[in-house]
Structure 1
Amino acid sequence: MPNDQASSKDSQIPTNLRLLMIIEEVVKRGVSVRPVDLIDVIELPKPTIHRLLQTAEAEGFLQRDIDGRSYGPGDRLRALAINTMSSERVRTARLAILKGLTEEIGETCNLATPDREGMTYLDRVETKWPIRVQLPRGTQVPFHCTASGKLYLSSLRSNTLTGVLSARPLEKLTEHTITSPETLRDELAKTRQRGYSTDNQEFMTGMIAIGVPILSPNGRLLATLSTHAPVMRCSLDHMKEFLEPLRLAAKKLSELNGNQ
């Protein structure tokens, strides 16, 4: 009898949709997901859920977490997400927003997305000033000492953040880099409360940055929008005057993503 019930339940969802639905649910949750978390949502038997998760892991779309039981996005799924966001139609509209922002504030603007080891620049528009920092599209920067990275860390759940901060020592890149996990936690709490992040020469000596989140309709961080400049041209206090146009541009980018 139980086998008949499982078989009936298993047949309710078309075979070619099952794996896609599981991947969709993992991405939607934004945290590592255990097989038991998917059973009630996907409404497939436990053995089927396990088999589909193992298939997605083997093909690189999902990746098993450190606990050995839960799953998160794999390299192939992250590449798919970036390629989707970089499609020509979407990218044209996105670059128009970035160009308008860069012209308004007069400094380089970056769009970054979280990856496994750091933040990856998805797009950027350079300032017209001759003195500028060259970080081309595709560059990956650390989480702990960049405006974009600290925004991402501030969006993580407490236990996930603990895992990230305890995984390895925080590398000291400049004399201003925060290398104490406790101090960084305090900085991330401030970031979360005020809704923006700063980089006060923590990634590169002589460079400052400020960033705001690009959120999904349900409030999840999708990407970050930031601007940076050399300290010889701009102070951090002056850069905070860019927050209003940055937030307006982030709202437009969020709406653009929602209309894809």
Structure 2
Amino acid sequence: MNRSIISGEDGARLLDQAQMDDPLFVQSIARALHVLSVFHKAEQPLSLNEIAEASGTGRSAAQRVIHTLRALGYIERDETGRGYLPGIRVLDHTVDYLRLNKLIERATPVLLDLRKNARERVDLSLFDDLRVVYAARLQSKRETFFATLVGHSVPTFCTSGGRAIMAHLTDAQVDDIIARSDRRPFTDKTITTPDEVREMVREARQTGYALTVEEVLVGEVALGVAVLGPGGRPLGAIHVAGSLSEWTPEAFCNRFAPLAVEAANAINRLR
């Protein structure tokens, strides 16, 4: 199959030949959005050449797209005038998504109660195939900058929320996610082998929650419980995260698993 946009766990979508041949599919819009998507993993402003290369768009086409997006406020120059960054108009769409998403609306008061009782970091993530995307983040007393950002995403296969979600999928769906995931480890504790990931998913099916220990962040223990939609389809997960300097994994489970399961059940009942 011919592919013109590279997909990955950063959320970029795959444009296949069927979409390219679809008479209703507007490729110029797809190209513009793909140019915006090159910032997903950027750590600094990007030059025109860097955007063109990362997006697979010719320099001339990338220049036209950037000019248009800049005129509309979706891309802007950085302070030095040497590179480009996402523009403030992008935030308008973020707030639209958050305020109109019914799951986030009904989950928010439950999450606030959970944060009050847990006094540790509480997150709500949304399931997006190979990744889970944080849609709500209620912080504890110790957080790094990226851990405070709504919209940050992590792989499904190696996170507590992701495995809790996978526990509500079929074995075939679980195998598909594992096979398509980039299973490079975040730490030396990240579980990456397919059989071990499957075993963690089976354990989550039995307990009703998933636990990870230092698989994404060194020193962090995290517990996830799936949030379900109609027919038991997993929509996302609640996460509770703490520090191994204060909790053993067993004590963390004993303290927070009942709270997280109760909170997820409360959200499920509200749909």
Shorter-chain TM band: 0.5 to 0.7
1:132 to 129, 132, 143: 143
Q: Shift in Å at residue 143 of structure 1?
A: 1.4
How far apart are the structure 2 equivalents of 1:189 and 1:88? 30
In structure 1, distance between residues paired with 2:245 and 2:156: 25
Find the counterpart in structure 1 of residue 166 from structure 2: 153
CA distance in 2: counterparts of 1:113 and 1:235, whole angstroms = 27
Letter in 1 for 2:134: Y
What is aligned with 2:78? none
Structure 2 counterpart SS, 1:218? helix
User: How many Å separate the matches in 2 of 1:221 and 1:92?
Assistant: 17
Deviation at 1:172, TM superposition (A): 1.2
Specify the SS of the correspondent of 1:182. helix
Q: Matched residues in 2 for 1:172 and 1:84: separation?
A: 31
What is the count of residue pairs matched by the alignment? 183
Correspondence for 2:128? 115
Distance 1:158 1:89 in 2: 29
Other-structure match for 1:244: 258
Match of 1:191 in 2: 204
SS at match of 2:231: coil
Aligned to 1:17: none
- Report the alpha carbon displacement of residue 162 of structure 1 after superposing the two structures with TM: 2.1
Q: 1:84 to 1:190 in 2, by over 3 A?
A: same
In structure 2, the residue matched to 1:175 is 188
- Residues 158 and 174 from structure 1, CA distance in 2 versus in 1: closer, same or farther, beyond 3 angstroms? same
1:44 is aligned to: none
Match of 1:234 in 2: 247
- Tell me the equivalent position of 1:98: 111
Q: Which runs of 5+ in 1 are unaligned?
A: 1-49, 61-79
> Structure 2 vs 1, CA of residues 179 and 194 (structure 1 numbering), >3 Å: closer, same or farther?
same
Contact 1:132 1:230 in 2 (8 A): no
Cα 1:94–1:59 shift into 2, 3 Å: farther
Distance 1:88 1:170 in 2: 30
The AA in structure 1 aligned to 2:177 is: V
Conservation of the 8 A alpha-carbon contact between 2:104 and 2:135:
no
Q: Show CA shifts across 1:4-42 (max 9, x none).
A: xxxxxxxxxxxxxxxxxxxxxxxxxxxxxxxxxxxxxxx
Q: What does 1:3-14 align with in structure 2 at a 5 Å threshold?
A: none
The SS at the match of 1:110 is strand
Query: Residue 206 of structure 1 aligns with which residue?
Result: 219
Q: What are the Cα deviations for residues 96-130 of structure 1, in whole angstroms up to 9, with x where unaligned?
A: 22111111011010000111431000111112x2x
How is 1:35-54 mapped onto 2 (pairs within 5 angstroms)? Answer: none
**Matched-pair contact (CA < 8 Å) for 1:85–1:91:** yes
1:192-211 alpha-carbon deviations (Å, 9 max, x no partner):
12110011111111111001
Q: Percent identity?
A: 21
Letter in 2 for 1:224: A
Compared CA separation, residues 198 and 133, structure 1 to 2 (3 A) = farther
2:71 aligns with none
- The SS at the match of 2:222 is strand
TM-score normalised to the size of structure 2? 0.60
Gaps of 5+ in 2: 1-17, 28-92
Shift of 1:225: 0.5
Once the 2 structures are TM-superposed, how far is the Cα of residue 167 of structure 1 from its aligned partner?
2.5
Instruction: Please give the alpha-carbon distance, in whole angstroms, between the structure 2 residues aligned to 1:152 and 1:90.
Output: 15
Flag the 1:91–1:178 CA change in 2: closer, same or farther, 3 A: closer
